C-alpha cells in the first residue's frame, strides 16, 4: 500500500509526514514524529493513555488515522509547557504527587486540560466522570482529582 | 553556624517522585520510547486456539510468505534450553513441542520489518493438533485428578480433631475468590540489541532484571556474564512483571542473536492479557469452631488455587495464602492445607499481596459468619479474636506476633470514622429504605514482611562519589512508580547530609549490582535502602579516617551536616571536602550489601520465622446497593495505615490509596471469565473493568499511623508499604455483604463470592429475599 502525504499542525508547528493509510495517529506521533508522550495502553480507545486533542477535541489517538490529521491542529502533552514554564496542571500534578508510574499521566493531563478549557469551574463529580475514560492503575485517582480541582480554582483566580 | 540549616530531600519528608517533572511533560522514557537503531526488527507471538492438545506440528508456510516477514522462531531455534521456569522445575517451555497446555499459549514468534507486519502474519499459522480434555478451574482439576504444579504446604498447630468434636458452635462453608489481571498501563515489552561474541543487551520492563538475565543466558546457552538487562522504569508492575517478562526477553534475545539485528517485542493488550499470568483464583473450604462469645476455637481450611499449566511462582503464592489465612486473628487450633492445582489456563503468577489477600479474605469471611451466627457487630468479633499477649500470640506457622498494634489502630479508626454511630444510622436507614440499602464494615489487615524464600532477602547497591562532589546511586531494585528510587536517594542524601539534587539516580542494570532479588514482596525500600546505606557508611568511614588524620582531630570531631563537613573547628563544603579526599587518594566508591536478619523457615515442618515484622492497617467503608439491579457505589472510606516511620509520607499515602482502590477493584468489578473452550473473554479494558476515577469513594480519608515505629531495625524504622494496604479493599466487600444481609434482617451471612459484581450482589439479594 503506498504511503500518503499529510500536512498538519502539531503543538503549533506545521508538520509534514508520509504514512501508511492504515497507520494510527498514535503510531505516527510516536514512530514518525518522535513524540512519545502519548502512550499505547490498550489500542482500542478504552484507557485514554494516548489522549491528544484534534482541533481542540479530546480524542484517543489510537482510534484516529494518521491520514485524518490532514489540515487539523493536534495538541499533545509535549506542547503543554511553554518553554521551561510548566502548565499549571503539570505543576499541580507534581505538587500533589498525583502520579506514580507516570505512564497514564500525559493522557490524563491532556484530557484534563481539555476539560478545563470547556468548563473552568467543574464540580468534583464532573471531574471524576470526565476522567472515567482515563485509566490509572497506580494512584487510586484521589490525588489526581485533588490536583485538578486545585488547579481549576487557581486558574479561575488568575483569569 | 550552619547546624540549623537542613538538607533538601532528607528521609521522613514528602519528597516528590524523582521523575515527576519528566512524567508530566511526557519526557520520561519507558522501554517503548527508547530510540531504535536502524534496521530494528519486530517480533510477535503466534498462539494456540485450543486449551489442551497434542501438538504434531505447525504449518508456517503462509506466515513465512507474508509481507515484511523476515523469519519465524520456533522451539528448534532455541540454542540453549527451552525452559523459563523461574523455580527451575523445567515445566515452562518458551515454545511447547509436544503438548499445548492453554488457550493462547505462545507457539512461535514471527520476526518482521514492522510490528504490524509481524502481528498480521502471526495469525496465518495452522497448528496440527489433537485436542485433549481440559480442566479450567481448580474444582474441575481436582475432579479430573490433575496434579499439583508444585508441592502443597500444610500448617498445623494445636489439635483440631478434639477442638471440632467439642466445639460450642461450628460453621462450614466454601468461598470462591476470583483472580485479577494486573492491567499495568504499560504492557510487556523487551528490546534486545546484539553485541560482540555471545553478548547481548536487553532493555525491558521487568521487576526482576537478574532473573531475566539468567533466563536469557539459559535459552541462549551462554553464561550470565554475556547478558545485560537494563530497566530504567516501568509503567506499572504489581507483580505481573516479576517472572512474566522472561518469555519476552527470551524471544527478543534469541531473535536478535539469530538475525544479528535489534529486535523489539511488544504484545498488544489482548495478547498481554491472554498470554501472561494473573492473580490466582482460589476455592476455599473452611470449617470454624467458636464459643458463644464469638471467640474462635479451631479453624481448618483447604485452599485450592488455579495455578495454570506450570508452577511459575504458585508454590510461594499458595504458601503465602496460608500464611495469611489467620489475618489478625489467633487460632488456638488450626490446620491449613494448600492445593496448588494444575489447570489448562495461563500460568498464574505474582500479584500485589502474592496470595496473602486470598488468605486474609477467608479469615474475614469466617469472622462475618461468626458475627451473623452470634448476632454481633462483626467489629466486636474481630476485636475479640485479635492476637493478644502470651498464650494468644502464635501464628499457624509458629511465629510469635511481637509487634501487634491493631488494638490501638482499629480503635483510633473506629473513632475517627465514627463507626458505631454510622452503623446504627445505617441500620435505621435500611429499615426505612425499600430499594437502596446501605452497609458498613471496618476490617483490619496484618501482613508479613519478607520473602518467604529466605535467600531472596538480600540486596546490593553501588554508590560513587565523583571528585566534584556529585553522587551516583545505583541499587538492585526497580522503579515501577512506587517511588523506590526517590526513597533510596533520600536515604543516601540523609546519610551524606547533602541535598537530594546532588544524587543522580540511575537505571537498574545487571552490570552494576549482580544477583538481585525481584522488586517484590513490598521489600524494595527495606532491602535496597539498607544496601545503599551500607555503601554510604563504607565511604563515610574512609572519609572520616582521612579527615581525622589530615586535620589531626578525633574521628568523633568529624561531622557531616547540611551540605558541609565539620572537622574540629574547620568547615568545608561537601564538594571541597570530597576534592581534598580525592587528592589524598581516598576510595570514593563502595558496593553495599544487606541481608535481613532473624528470619528462617522450615517448610517441611511448617515452622519458623518467615517474616521479619508485620505491617498493619484498617479501613472502614460505607456502600449503597440498589437491590433491584445489584449496582452499588462506595459512599465513604476511612483508612488508617501503618508504615512505621515513613521514609516519605506523600509517596506512602499514594501507595495506600492506590492499593486500596486496586483491592476494591479485585473484589468488585474485576471479573476474569473464561468460556468453555478455555478462552479468556475478559481480554482487554473493553471487557475487564478496573476501577475508574468515578469509582473512587465519594469521601476518602486516608491517614498514616504517624505514631508507629518499626520495632525492628529497618531502614529508618520504616515499614514496607506496597502490598499491605491492598487488603484494605476487603472493607468494601464486607460492607456490600452487610447491605445484602439487610434484606433478610441480618439473620444470614450472605456468603458473597468474589468479585462481588453487581450481578453477584443482585443474585445474593434474591437468594436472601427467599431465605
SS (H, E, C) A59-92: EEHHHCEHHHHCCCEEECHHHCCECCECCHHHHH
What does the longest C-alpha to C-alpha distance in chain A come to?
Answer: 53
For the packed helices B730-741 and B758-770, what is the interaxial angle rounded to 10 degrees? 30
Local confidence pLDDT in tens for the 159 residues of chain A: 689 999 999 999 999 999 999 999 999 999 999 999 999 999 999 999 999 999 999 999 999 999 999 999 999 999 999 999 999 999 999 999 999 999 999 999 999 999 999 999 999 999 999 999 999 999 999 999 999 999 999 999 998
Contact B397, B323 (CB under 8 A): yes
**Which residues have C-beta within 8 Å of that of residue B432, sequence separation ≥ 6?**
none
Q: And the C-alpha cell for B402?
A: 511481637
Cβ <8 Å between A101 and B480: yes
Beta bridge partners of B283: B176, B304
Place B1 in a pLDDT band, splitting at 50, 70 and 90: very low
Residues of B in contact with A97 (CB under 8 A): 14, 16-17, 20, 650-651, 653-654
Cβ <8 Å between A99 and B20: yes
Nearest chain A Cα distance for residue B449, angstroms: 21
Q: What is the pLDDT of residues A59-104, one digit of tens each?
A: 999 999 999 999 999 999 999 999 999 999 999 999 999 999 999 9
Q: What is the pLDDT of residues B681-703, one digit of tens each?
A: 999 999 999 999 999 999 999 99
Q: What is the pLDDT of residues B241-286, one digit of tens each?
A: 999 999 999 999 999 999 999 999 999 999 999 999 999 999 999 9
d(CA B211, CA B518): 8
Average pLDDT, chain B: 97
Percentage, residues of chain B above pLDDT 70: 99
Cβ <8 Å between B481 and A101: yes
Shortest CB distance from B268 goes to which of A43, A141, A143? A43
d(CA B183, CA B276): 11
Q: What is the pLDDT of residues B63-78, one digit of tens each?
A: 999 999 999 999 999 9
Contact B141, B52 (CB under 8 A): no
pLDDT for residue B4 is more than 80? no
d(CA B152, CA B322): 10
Percentage, residues of chain B above pLDDT 90: 99
Residues of A in contact with B235 (CB under 8 A): 39, 101-103
Catalytic pick among B414, B622, B723, B734: B723
Is residue B723 part of the annotated active site? The answer reads yes
Give this prediction's pTM.
0.98
| Omega before B755 within 30 of 0, i.e. cis | yes
d(CA B615, CA B710): 9
Nearest residue on chain B to A139, alpha-carbon basis: B658
Q: And the C-alpha cell for B474?
A: 545505583
Nearest residue on chain A to B649, alpha-carbon basis: A97
d(CA B646, CA B738): 34
Nearest chain A Cα distance for residue B128, angstroms: 31
What is the full DSSP assignment across B408-471? HHHHHHHHHTTHHHHHHHHHHHHHH-SSEEEEEEEEEEEEEES-SSGGG-EEEEEEEE-TTS-E
The residue among B17, B183, B185, B519 with the most chain A CBs within 10 A of its CB, best to mutate, is B185
d(CA B95, CA B84): 10
Nearest residue on chain B to A22, alpha-carbon basis: B116
Closest among B148, B153, B710, B595 to B397, alpha carbons compared: B153
Place B2 in a pLDDT band, splitting at 50, 70 and 90: very low
Q: Is the dihedral of CA B658, B659, B664, B665 positive or negative?
A: positive
Cβ <8 Å between A137 and B184: yes
Cβ <8 Å between B32 and A37: no
Task: Tell me what the mean pLDDT of segment B105-131 comes to.
Answer: 97
Instruction: List the strands of the sheet with B99-100, edge to edge.
Output: B99-100, B53-59, B126-131
Nearest residue on chain B to A85, alpha-carbon basis: B25
Instruction: List the strands of the sheet with B436-449, edge to edge.
Output: B436-449, B613-626, B632-641, B699-704
Instruction: List the strands of the sheet with B471-475, edge to edge.
Output: B503-505, B471-475, B458-465, B589-595
pLDDT attached to residue B39: 96
User: In Å, how far are A116, B212, B237, B336, B694 from B243, measured between CA atoms?
Assistant: 42, 8, 11, 27, 32
The dihedral over CA atoms of A19, A23, A25, A27, expressed in degrees to the nearest 10, equals: -90
Residues of B in contact with A103 (CB under 8 A): 30, 185-186, 235-236
Q: How does strand B106-112 pair with strand B69-73?
A: antiparallel
Cβ <8 Å between A77 and B684: no
Nearest chain B Cα distance for residue A150, angstroms: 16
The residue among A83, A140, A141, A144 with the most chain B CBs within 10 A of its CB, best to mutate, is A140
Amino acid at each position: 500500500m503506498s504511503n500518503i502525504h499529510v500536512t498538519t499542525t502539531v503543538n503549533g508547528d506545521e508538520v509534514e509526514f508520509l504514512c501508511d493509510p492504515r497507520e494510527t495517529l498514535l503510531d505516527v506521533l510516536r514512530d514518525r514524529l518522535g513524540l512519545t508522550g502519548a502512550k499505547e495502553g490498550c489500542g482500542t480507545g478504552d484507557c485514554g493513555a494516548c489522549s491528544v486533542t484534534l482541533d481542540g477535541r479530546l480524542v484517543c489517538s489510537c482510534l484516529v488515522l494518521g491520514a485524518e490529521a490532514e489540515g487539523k491542529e493536534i495538541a499533545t502533552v509535549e506542547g503543554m509547557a511553554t518553554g521551561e514554564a510548566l502548565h499549571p496542571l503539570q505543576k499541580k500534578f507534581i505538587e500533589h504527587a498525583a502520579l506514580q508510574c507516570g505512564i497514564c499521566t500525559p493522557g490524563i493531563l491532556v484530557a484534563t486540560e481539555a476539560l478545563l478549557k470547556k468548563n473552568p469551574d467543574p464540580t468534583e463529580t464532573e471531574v471524576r466522570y470526565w476522567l472515567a475514560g482515563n485509566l490509572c492503575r497506580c494512584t487510586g485517582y484521589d490525588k489526581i482529582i485533588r490536583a485538578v480541582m486545585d488547579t481549576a480554582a487557581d486558574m479561575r483566580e488568575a483569569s | 553556624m550552619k547546624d540549623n540549616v537542613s538538607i533538601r530531600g532528607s528521609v521522613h519528608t514528602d519528597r516528590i517522585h524523582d521523575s515527576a517533572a519528566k512524567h508530566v511533560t511526557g519526557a520520561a522514557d519507558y522501554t517503548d520510547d527508547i530510540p531504535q537503531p536502524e534496521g530494528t526488527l519486530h517480533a510477535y507471538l503466534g498462539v494456540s486456539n485450543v486449551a489442551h492438545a497434542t501438538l504434531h506440528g505447525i504449518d508456517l508456510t503462509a506466515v513465512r510468505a507474508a509481507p515484511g516477514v523476515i523469519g519465524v522462531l520456533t522451539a528448534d531455534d532455541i540454542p540453549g534450553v527451552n525452559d523459563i521456569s523461574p523455580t527451575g522445575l523445567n515445566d515452562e517451555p518458551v515454545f511447547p513441542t509436544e503438548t499445548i497446555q492453554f488457550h493462547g499459549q505462545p507457539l512461535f514468534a514471527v520476526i518482521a520489518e514492522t510490528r504490524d507486519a509481524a502481528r498480521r502474519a502471526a495469525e496465518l499459522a495452522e497448528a496440527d493438533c489433537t485436542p485433549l480434555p481440559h480442566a479450567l478451574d481448580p474444582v474441575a482439576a481436582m475432579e479430573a485428578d490433575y496434579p499439583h504444579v508444585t508441592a502443597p504446604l500444610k500448617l498445623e498447630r494445636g489439635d483440631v480433631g478434639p477442638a471440632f468434636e467439642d466445639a460450642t458452635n461450628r460453621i462450614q462453608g466454601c468461598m470462591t475468590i476470583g483472580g485479577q489481571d494486573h492491567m499495568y498501563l504499560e504492557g510487556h515489552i523487551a528490546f534486545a540489541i546484539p553485541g560482540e561474541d555471545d553478548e547481548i543487551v536487553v532493555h525491558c520492563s521487568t521487576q526482576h532484571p537478574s532473573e531475566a538475565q539468567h533466563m536469557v543466558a539459559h535459552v541462549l546457552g551462554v553464561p550470565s556474564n554475556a547478558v545485560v538487562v537494563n530497566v530504567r522504569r516501568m509503567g506499572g508492575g504489581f507483580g505481573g512483571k516479576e517472572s512474566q517478562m522472561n518469555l519476552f526477553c527470551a524471544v527478543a534475545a534469541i531473535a536478535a542473536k539469530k538475525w544479528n539485528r535489534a529486535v523489539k517485542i511488544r504484545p498488544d493488550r489482548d495478547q498481554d492479557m491472554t498470554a501472561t499470568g494473573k492473580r490466582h483464583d482460589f476455592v476455599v473450604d473452611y470449617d470454624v469452631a467458636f464459643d458463644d462469645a464469638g471467640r474462635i476455637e479451631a479453624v481448618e481450611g483447604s485452599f485450592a488455587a488455579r495455578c495454570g499449566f506450570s508452577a511459575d511462582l504458585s508454590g510461594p503464592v499458595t504458601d503465602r495464602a496460608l500464611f495469611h489465612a489467620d489475618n489478625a486473628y489467633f487460632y488456638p487450633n488450626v490446620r491449613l492445607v494448600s492445593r496448588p492445582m494444575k489447570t489448562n489456563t495461563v500460568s498464574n503468577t505474582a500479584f500485589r499481596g502474592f496470595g496473602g489477600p486470598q488468605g486474609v479474605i477467608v479469615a474475614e469471611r469466617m469472622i462475618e459468619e461468626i458475627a451473623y451466627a452470634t448476632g454481633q457487630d462483626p467489629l466486636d468479633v474481630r476485636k475479640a479474636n485479635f492476637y493478644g499477649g502470651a498464650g494468644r500470640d502464635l501464628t499457624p506457622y509458629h511465629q510469635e506476633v511481637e509487634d501487634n498494634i491493631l488494638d490501638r489502630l482499629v480503635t483510633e479508626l473506629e473513632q475517627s470514622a465514627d463507626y458505631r454511630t454510622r452503623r446504627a444510622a445505617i441500620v435505621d436507614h435500611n429499615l426505612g429504605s425499600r430499594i437502596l440499602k446501605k452497609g458498613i464494615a471496618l476490617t483490619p489487615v496484618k501482613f508479613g514482611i519478607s520473602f518467604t524464600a529466605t535467600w531472596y532477602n538480600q540486596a546490593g547497591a553501588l554508590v560513587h562519589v565523583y571528585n566534584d562532589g556529585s553522587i551516583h546511586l545505583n541499587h538492585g531494585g526497580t522503579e515501577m512508580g512506587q517511588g523506590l528510587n526517590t526513597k533510596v536517594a533520600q536515604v543516601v542524601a540523609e546519610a551524606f547530609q547533602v541535598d537530594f539534587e546532588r544524587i543522580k539516580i540511575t537505571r537498574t542494570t545487571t552490570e552494576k549490582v549482580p544477583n538481585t532479588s525481584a522488586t517484590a514482596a513490598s521489600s524494595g525500600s527495606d532491602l535496597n535502602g539498607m544496601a545503599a546505606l551500607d555503601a554510604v557508611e563504607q565511604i563515610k568511614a574512609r572519609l572520616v579516617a582521612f579527615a581525622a588524620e589530615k586535620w589531626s582531630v578525633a574521628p568523633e570531631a568529624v561531622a557531616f551536616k547540611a551540605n558541609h563537613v565539620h572537622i574540629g573547628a574547620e568547615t568545608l563544603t561537601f564538594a571541597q571536602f570530597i576534592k581534598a579526599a580525592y587528592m589524598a587518594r581516598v576510595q570514593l566508591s563502595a558496593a553495599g550489601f544487606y541481608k535481613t536478619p532473624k528470619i528462617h523457615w522450615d517448610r517441611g515442618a511448617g515452622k519458623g520465622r518467615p517474616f521479619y515484622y508485620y505491617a498493619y492497617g484498617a479501613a472502614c467503608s460505607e456502600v449503597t446497593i440498589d437491590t433491584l439491579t445489584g449496582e452499588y457505589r462506595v459512599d465513604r472510606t476511612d483508612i488508617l495505615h501503618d508504615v512505621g516511620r515513613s521514609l516519605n509520607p506523600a509517596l506512602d499515602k499514594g501507595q495506600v490509596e492506590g492499593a486500596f482502590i486496586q483491592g476494591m477493584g479485585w473484589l468488585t468489578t474485576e471479573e476474569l471469565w473464561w468460556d468453555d473452550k478455555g478462552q479468556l473473554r475478559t481480554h482487554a479494558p473493553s471487557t475487564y473493568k478496573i476501577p475508574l476515577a468515578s469509582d473512587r469513594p465519594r469521601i476518602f480519608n486516608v491517614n498514616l499511623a504517624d505514631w508507629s515505629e518499626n520495632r525492628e531495625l529497618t531502614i529508618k524504622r520504616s515499614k514496607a508499604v506496597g502490598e499491605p494496604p491492598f487488603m484494605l479493599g476487603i472493607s468494601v466487600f464486607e460492607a456490600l455483604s452487610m447491605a445484602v444481609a439487610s434484606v433478610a434482617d441480618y439473620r444470614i451471612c450472605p456468603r458473597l463470592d468474589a468479585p462481588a459484581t453487581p450481578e453477584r450482589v443482585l443474585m445474593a439479594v434474591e437468594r436472601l429475599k427467599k431465605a
